[in-house]
Amino acid sequence: MADIINITQASFKQQVVESDVPVLVDFWAEWCGPCLRMSPILDQLAEELGETARIAKVNIEEERMLAAMFQVMSIPALMVFHNGEKVAEFSGVQSKETLKQKLESYA
């Protein structure tokens, strides 16, 4: 099972930009109900995708600069990165199938 990675400003470049597989980044906060509903979906996604894609989380309360850099206005905000570029963005709770299909299209 692939683990979900917690991303900080210091690790963003290495873990996301320089990744050799697509990365889904979840911008979230502990007080956000919809964010908490996404958590088990992301766990399942990480398990199903294994090493073909990476799932990462950014706590916007702890990483305000990253949230500002990507203009996160509402959470959960989910962004797919491939070859160092943001290629897709979703807002709000998404289905596992929607996210899996998008990630697999870049794998």
The whole-number average pLDDT for the span 37-65 is: 96
Is 60 exceeded by the pLDDT of residue 1?
A: no
Annotation marks residue 68 as catalytic: no
Number of Cβ within 10 Å of residue 6's Cβ equals: 13
Q: Classify residue 104: in a domain, yes or no.
A: no
| Total-model pTM | 0.95
Q: Which two tokens stand for residue 10?
A: 């210091």
Strands 77-82 and 23-28: antiparallel
Under the phi-then-psi rule, with left for phi > 0, alpha for psi from -120 to 50, and beta for the rest, what region is 21? beta
Number of domains in the chain: 1
Strands 85-91 and 77-82: antiparallel
Kindly report, residue by residue over 7-50, the tens digit of the pLDDT: 999 999 999 999 999 999 999 999 999 999 999 999 999 999 99
Q: Read off the CATH number of the domain in which 17 is found.
A: 3.40.30.10
Kindly report, residue by residue over 73-101, the tens digit of the pLDDT: 999 999 999 999 999 999 999 999 999 99
Instruction: Out of 32, 36, 88, 93, pick the active-site residue.
Output: 32
Is 80 exceeded by the pLDDT of residue 2?
A: no
Annotation marks residue 32 as catalytic: yes
Instruction: Out of 4, 16, 25, 35, pick the active-site residue.
Output: 35
Could you list the residue range(s) of the whole structural domain that residue 62 is in? 4-99
Q: Which two tokens stand for residue 67?
A: 């949230």
Q: 67 Cβ partners below 8 Å, 6+ apart?
A: 27, 58, 60
Q: With contact defined as beta carbons under 8 Å apart, do 51 and 3 qualify?
A: no
